[in-house]
Structure 1
Amino acid sequence: MAPGKSAAVSHVGKIRANNQDSGYAGEYLFVVADGMGGHAGGDVASAIAVKRITETDRQFASGSDAEFALHTALTAANAQLAETVFDHSELTGMGTTVSGLILVGGQVVIAHIGDSRIYLLRDGELTQVTADHTFVQRLVDSGRITEEEAAVHPRRSVLMRVLGDVDATPEIDTSIMATQPGDRWLLCSDGLSSYVSHDKILHALTSVADAQNAAERLVKDALDQGAPDNVTVVLVDIDESGTSAHVPPLTVGSAASPLVFDGDVAKKPLRLPALLLHPLKVSKPDDSHFEPESDGYLDELILEDRRRARRRRITWLVGLILVVLGILGGIFTAYQYTQSRYFVGVDQGNVAIYRGVQEGIGPISLSTVYRTTSIEVDSLTAYSQQRVEATINADDLSDAERIVDTLSNVSPE
């Protein structure tokens, strides 16, 4: 792994009309923000947040000092977003996720809110460091649904925490972790984590040494899956000195462009739908939106999810019942058919007419004796005995009776 390297890459994706992500790779600070609020404000929200947070890109004496400064920067960005909405009502409802880290000696200081993510690659093992502040993550954490179910859950776009004009004092996760030479830190928007599997992310990070090339590879992996959402990747490699400075600092995404406060800007034409090219994730993603992290709303969503799970179980049960009934109906129809067939065979030494077919299903016989005649098999010619013992198929009951009459003519009853 090449030492002392970092990178930042952002792509609008193949469906979105504009890039609502912002990313920053600096001397000590690294940030990813994913805006929400649709075309009117998502890009503005992430850009404002990143521009404000980059003011903390400086050297700190300790991890605790950096943690306080980073938390304060996110809180200040939240206030600035609220002020912007007050001045520009067309941006009402805008918000942004933020995942950022500051390098302080042998430590990494992390601040996080929303569903962008920070990963750590160490000794070939990739670990998700941050927790998604989403409704479905609450369900996963409580054991109500699995990770696989969360990926397709209809409420997967509901964010429980964001920066924006919705909460004056948002709850921001902060932590201080030790880092060491050889560590590779990945910050990304959900445009990567929602469409590229954990194993593919791990493969890209371990197989590509150069940070810039690795970041571009991850974005390409997202594009190969259709990339319906914006994709932003910031990669940080820790060298022997414990740093990964990007000089000069690099800003990508919406924060790299001048802010535009115009809710009526014409949208760009939609690109060729990924449906034609990529089978995994083909539909345009639902816009992420914030819901207050209140017990009442969360309880309502949980009740809704329980109802959805109950409907799903009922649907599966009804489907299972229909399948079973179909199988039973097929078995009954097949059995009825077998009972319309006849053959001539042996019953207790005498010629008999059987109803059904000679074959059986395991120990289950599909034939019964319809009538036993008085014709003894031993009284038949050797050829007729062989035929009767091997059974003689009949087209119907009349044909079976005719076969018996024929046998009676070659031997006395």
Structure 2
Amino acid sequence: MVFQGSSTAISHTGKVRSNNQDSGYAGSNLFVVADGMGGHAGGDVASSLAIARLEALDKPYDTTAGAEKALRDAISEAAVDLIDTVHVRPELAGMGTTVSALIMVDDYAVIAHIGDSRIYLYRDDTLTQITTDHTFVQRLVDSGRITPEEARYHPRRSVLMRVLGDMDPDPELDTFIMPTQPGDRWLLCSDGLSGVVDDAHTAKALGMGLAPGRTADILLKQALDGGAPDNVTMVIVDVGGQHPVFSGTATIVGSASNPAGVEVPAAAPRRASWLHPNRQAANEPTHFEPAPEFLEELIEEDRRRSRRRRIGWIAGLALVLVLITGAVWLGYQWTQTRFFVGADEDTVVIYQGVQQNIGPISLSTPYEDTEIPLDSLSDFARATVVGTISASSLEDARRIVADISDLAGGSG
């Protein structure tokens, strides 16, 4: 039967990219996000072709197995479309796209996924990431080499290990079926959202209970406020709920919303260039799919980076300790240029250092015992000596002692 609920799709170029290579689709039963890659034109074409191929699946299904097979077949056909397109326009070689798709069948969600776009489920005030990123850093997380938080800022976080591209007509997909229930909110998004807005803020926005369109606007604003270095695309799907039931035509956003985006125009005349022809369309692609033999090189590079980071921390800590030790030593040396007059148990003594202590550490030592008995001093003079008398130098300290000696003689 036709899915009962409401949905929205929204896409934005972001604050850095010059064009939008993402595509999104929200229909009556089908919902898709595709994040294209491969340069200024390649990413547009790749994500648009994926949406164009999947669009025919937007219909009711009798069984979840039938919907799952349809997703697998359509995505494989999209891979063939990409390969055929590169034959016509070889300058687009290397293009590809992620695909995260969801078909609603009765009380179930049928999911297909490849790449690093994500599908989340918000249920009972809890946000759960349903798909697993097909990225190099996710492998590092899975193997325990780095934490999920470290993965968010890893320099290789955009390296895809699986993608719908122009090289493999039989891409390796993740497909599975999950039960869904009224009140569920599904979020499909490109990494332009998930890479900027963390799960806590995403869950807060989804939990406000606003209509899908308003919720998407809030999440988009958070991504833009966070810098939005990449295209931002999301599809929000509510199962049942208080908002109007979906009706009308499908919503298509991003590059797929431009009819020309799904066409393969004739190759433009090529000008002489020192650039490789397959690089001419490049516009700082955010992803690339490494060859299998490149994985070990990446892992070894990560190990080297970790070692350098540890060495850096150790060197930095050692430098701080050296600076602290040097400052303490210089401070102590300065104290040893100072003198003061004080008392031991029964005589007047000249001390080298300063009167203060640092915990149990004394910053002064007896320098010269004057052998002037404390008992020979007046009460006031004795109290003054016991309280210590600062001196500007050793000579000044001896002058003070001479004065005290005269007082002692006078008192005698």
Same fold? TM cut 0.5: yes
SS of the residue corresponding to residue 30 of structure 1 reads strand
User: Is the 8 Å Cα contact of residues 159 and 290 (structure 2) preserved in structure 1?
Assistant: yes
Identical counterparts, % of pairs: 55
Q: Matches of residues 305-320 of structure 1 in structure 2 within 5 Å?
A: 305-320=302-317
User: 1:97 corresponds to which residue?
Assistant: 98
| Superposition CA RMSD, Å | 2.0
Which deviations, in whole Å up to 9, do the C-alpha atoms of 1:28-51 show, x marking residues without a partner?
110000000121311110000111
CA distance in 1, matches of 2:309, 2:59: 52
Which deviations, in whole Å up to 9, do the C-alpha atoms of 1:311-341 show, x marking residues without a partner?
0000111000000000001100110111111
CA distance in 1, matches of 2:247, 2:49: 21
When structure 1 is superposed on structure 2, of 62-71 and 379-388 the one drifting more is: 379-388
User: Is the 8 Å Cα contact of residues 162 and 172 (structure 2) preserved in structure 1?
Assistant: yes
User: 1:279 corresponds to which residue?
Assistant: none
SS of the residue corresponding to residue 98 of structure 2 reads strand
CA distance in 1, matches of 2:245, 2:58: 13
CA distance in 1, matches of 2:55, 2:202: 27
Q: Structure 1 residue 166: deviation in Å?
A: 2.7
User: Is the 8 Å Cα contact of residues 342 and 353 (structure 1) preserved in structure 2?
Assistant: yes
User: 1:63 corresponds to which residue?
Assistant: 64
Q: Does 1:289 align with 2:311?
A: no
Q: Matches of residues 212-223 of structure 1 in structure 2 within 5 Å?
A: 212-223=213-224
Report the AA paired with residue 288 of structure 1. Answer: H
User: Is the 8 Å Cα contact of residues 237 and 244 (structure 1) preserved in structure 2?
Assistant: no
SS of the residue corresponding to residue 357 of structure 1 reads strand
CA distance in 2, matches of 1:15, 1:386: 75
Which deviations, in whole Å up to 9, do the C-alpha atoms of 1:287-329 show, x marking residues without a partner?
222213x2x3222211110100000000111000000000001
CA distance in 1, matches of 2:204, 2:284: 25
Structure 2 unaligned blocks of 5 or more: 270-282
User: 1:146 corresponds to which residue?
Assistant: 147
When structure 1 is superposed on structure 2, of 32-41 and 200-209 the one drifting more is: 200-209
Q: Does 1:371 align with 2:368?
A: yes
User: 1:268 corresponds to which residue?
Assistant: none
CA distance in 1, matches of 2:134, 2:188: 16
Q: Does 1:193 align with 2:194?
A: yes
SS of the residue corresponding to residue 111 of structure 2 reads strand
Q: Matches of residues 24-173 of structure 1 in structure 2 within 5 Å?
A: 24-173=25-174
Structure 1 unaligned blocks of 5 or more: 266-283
When structure 1 is superposed on structure 2, of 209-218 and 28-37 the one drifting more is: 209-218
Q: Structure 1 residue 263: deviation in Å?
A: 8.0
Which residue of 378, 381, 386 corresponds with 2:383? 386
User: 1:340 corresponds to which residue?
Assistant: 337
CA distance in 1, matches of 2:391, 2:94: 81
User: Is the 8 Å Cα contact of residues 59 and 104 (structure 1) preserved in structure 2?
Assistant: yes
User: Is the 8 Å Cα contact of residues 88 and 267 (structure 2) preserved in structure 1?
Assistant: no
User: Is the 8 Å Cα contact of residues 201 and 218 (structure 1) preserved in structure 2?
Assistant: yes
Report the AA paired with residue 297 of structure 2. Answer: E
Report the AA paired with residue 217 of structure 2. Answer: E
CA distance in 1, matches of 2:192, 2:235: 13
User: Is the 8 Å Cα contact of residues 40 and 263 (structure 1) preserved in structure 2?
Assistant: no
User: 1:358 corresponds to which residue?
Assistant: 355
Report the AA paired with residue 301 of structure 1. Answer: L
Q: Structure 1 residue 143: deviation in Å?
A: 1.1
Q: Structure 1 residue 52: deviation in Å?
A: 0.4
User: 1:399 corresponds to which residue?
Assistant: 396
CA distance in 1, matches of 2:323, 2:268: 56
Which deviations, in whole Å up to 9, do the C-alpha atoms of 1:89-140 show, x marking residues without a partner?
1101100000001011111100000000000011111110000111111111
User: 1:272 corresponds to which residue?
Assistant: none
Report the AA paired with residue 338 of structure 1. Answer: T
Report the AA paired with residue 237 of structure 2. Answer: V
User: 2:180 corresponds to which residue?
Assistant: 179
When structure 1 is superposed on structure 2, of 94-103 and 165-174 the one drifting more is: 165-174
When structure 1 is superposed on structure 2, of 212-221 and 80-89 the one drifting more is: 212-221
CA distance in 2, matches of 1:147, 1:51: 34
When structure 1 is superposed on structure 2, of 324-333 and 142-151 the one drifting more is: 142-151
Report the AA paired with residue 378 of structure 1. Answer: D
SS of the residue corresponding to residue 19 of structure 1 reads coil
SS of the residue corresponding to residue 23 of structure 2 reads strand
User: Is the 8 Å Cα contact of residues 352 and 369 (structure 1) preserved in structure 2?
Assistant: yes
Report the AA paired with residue 40 of structure 1. Answer: A
Report the AA paired with residue 289 of structure 1. Answer: F
Report the TM-score when normalising by structure 2: 0.91
Report the AA paired with residue 336 of structure 2. Answer: Q
Q: Does 1:408 align with 2:405?
A: yes
SS of the residue corresponding to residue 143 of structure 1 reads coil
Report the TM-score when normalising by structure 1: 0.91
User: Is the 8 Å Cα contact of residues 40 and 90 (structure 1) preserved in structure 2?
Assistant: no
Moved over 4 A (4+): 243-246, 260-265
CA distance in 2, matches of 1:377, 1:232: 87
CA distance in 2, matches of 1:120, 1:151: 20
User: Is the 8 Å Cα contact of residues 6 and 246 (structure 1) preserved in structure 2?
Assistant: no
Q: Structure 1 residue 285: deviation in Å?
A: 8.4
